[in-house]
C-alpha cells in the first residue's frame, strides 16, 4: 500500500511512519510493504516521476532525482518498512534495486524484452502486470522469460557499459489489474489465471491490483475489490497471496500547479488515492477477516 507516485520526501516519510505504527499492530497476519514509486509510465505525455523531474518544473535534473530517490528509500528502510517500486528505466535498477523488496513491471512494459532481461537478474520477487487490454498470456510469458538466464548490455557497479549475465529469477509472479475496461479479480478470472499458470508449469501465485481498471479508476471502489478477494480467501482460495492498494495521506488527486508552492501536501499528483484514515480502516478490516 502507498501513494500512486512519490513526489515529496516529507510526505513519503510521514506515510512510512504511519505505516510503521500500523505494521506493529497488524504484523502477526499481514506483511505490509510500502509503494515507493519514482517512475511513471505515461500513455502519452506528462510528469514521468521523481527520478526524471524531481522539482516538478520540467528541469529534468535526473542526477538529483536519483540521489533523492535513494535517500527516501534509505529513510524508509531505516524505519523497517519494506519498499516496493516499479522499474521503468532498466538503468534505474543499478542505483536503487538493493533498497527495494519487491518490483513491479507495469502493463505497458511487461511485453518488453529489455524489462524481462533486467528482472531475470534481480534478487527480489517481481510482479508482472497483465497488459492494458487484459491479456494474461503476456504476463505469463514474461514470467517464463524472467526465470531464465540472459546475457545483455547493461551497466556494472562502476557505471561502465558491460555485458550482464543473469541466472534467472525464480520469484516472478502475475499481478491482475483489469483491462479493456473491465476488472479481472472475480472468481472466474482467478480460475482462468490459475489454469494459464498451471499450463506453463507454474504454481499459481497471484497478486491483485485493487486500483486501475479493477476499481474503474475510482479509488473508493478499491474496498469492493478487497471485500471480494477476502470472500474468495474465506472460500478456500490458495493462489491469491497479496493485494495492492493506492493510498496517500489525503484522498483524491491534484494537477501540478504552475506555482509549485501551491502544491497541496500529501495529495497525489498522478492517480487519485484513498486517504490515510480509510487506508487504516481497510488494513484493520483485512486483518480481522483473515
**What does the pLDDT read at residue 42?**
73
Contact status, residue 145 vs residue 178, Cβ threshold 8 Å: no
Q: Which three cell numbers stand for residue 264?
A: 497541496
Q: Provide the pairing of β-strand 126-129 with 151-155.
A: unpaired
**The domain at 1-88+250-290 falls in which architecture?**
Alpha-Beta Barrel (3.20)
**What does the pLDDT read at residue 45?**
74
The SS3 of residue 63 is: helix
pLDDT in tens, the chain (290 residues): 999 999 999 999 999 999 999 999 999 999 999 999 999 887 667 899 999 999 999 999 999 999 999 999 999 999 999 999 999 999 999 999 999 999 999 999 999 999 999 999 999 999 999 999 999 999 999 999 999 999 999 988 888 999 999 999 999 999 999 999 999 999 999 999 999 999 999 999 999 999 999 999 999 999 999 999 999 999 999 999 999 999 999 999 999 999 999 999 999 999 999 999 999 999 999 999 99
DSSP track, 116-175: HHHHTT-SS-EEEEP-TT--SHHHHHHHHHHTS--EEEEE-TTS-EEEEE----TTEEEE
Answer whether 1-88+250-290 and 101-246 agree in fold.
Answer: yes
From 86, 168, 171, 174, select the one nearest 128 (Cα to Cα): 174
Bridge partners of 129? 175
**What does the pLDDT read at residue 43?**
66
> So where are the chain's domains?
1-88+250-290, 101-246
**What does the pLDDT read at residue 150?**
98
**Phi/psi class of residue 194: alpha, beta or left (left: φ > 0; alpha: ψ in -120 to 50)?**
alpha
The SS3 of residue 79 is: coil
Q: Which CATH class, in words, describes the domain spanning 101-246?
A: alpha beta
Amino acid at each position: 500500500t502507498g501513494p500512486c507516485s512519490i513526489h515529496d520526501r516529507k510526505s513519503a516519510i510521514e506515510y512510512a511512519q504511519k505505516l510503521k505504527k500500523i505494521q506493529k499492530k497488524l504484523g502477526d497476519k499481514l506483511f505490509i510493504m510500502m509503494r515507493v514509486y519514482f517512475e511513471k509510465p505515461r500513455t502519452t505525455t506528462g510528469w514521468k516521476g521523481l527520478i526524471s523531474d524531481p522539482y516538478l518544473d520540467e528541469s529534468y535534473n535526473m542526477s538529483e532525482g536519483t540521489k533523492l530517490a535513494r535517500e527516501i528509500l534509505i529513510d524508509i528502510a531505516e524505519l523497517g518498512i519494506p519498499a516496493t517500486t516499479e522499474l521503468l528505466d532498466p538503468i534505474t535498477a543499478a542505483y536503487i534495486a538493493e533498497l527495494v523488496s519487491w518490483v513491479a513491471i507495469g502493463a505497458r512494459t511487461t511485453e518488453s524484452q529489455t524489462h524481462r532481461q533486467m528482472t531475470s537478474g534481480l534478487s527480489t520477487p517481481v510482479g508482472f502486470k497483465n497488459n492494458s487490454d487484459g491479456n494474461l498470456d503476456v504476463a505469463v510469458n514474461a514470467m517464463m522469460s524472467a526465470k531464465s538466464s540472459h546475457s545483455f548490455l547493461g551497466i556494472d557497479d562502476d557505471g561502465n557499459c558491460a555485458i550482464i549475465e543473469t541466472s534467472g529469477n525464480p520469484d516472478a509472479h502475475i499481478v491482475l489489474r483489469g483491462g479493456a475496461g473491465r476488472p479481472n479479480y472475480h472468481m472466474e478470472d482467478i480460475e482462468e489465471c490459475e489454469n494459464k499458470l498451471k499450463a506453463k508449469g507454474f504454481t499459481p501465485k497471484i497478486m491483485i491490483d485493487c486500483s486501475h481498471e479493477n476499481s474503474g479508476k475510482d479509488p473508493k471502489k478499491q474496498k469492493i475489490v478487497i471485500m471480494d478477494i477476502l470472500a474468495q480467501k474465506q472460500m478456500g482460495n490458495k493462489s491469491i497471496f497479496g493485494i495492492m492498494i493506492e493510498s496517500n495521506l489525503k484522498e483524491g488527486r491534484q494537477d501540478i500547479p504552475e506555482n509549485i508552492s501551491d502544491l497541496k501536501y500529501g495529495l497525489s499528483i498522478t492517480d487519485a488515492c484513498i486517504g490515510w484514515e480509510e487506508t487504516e480502516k481497510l488494513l484493520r478490516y483485512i486483518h480481522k477477516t483473515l
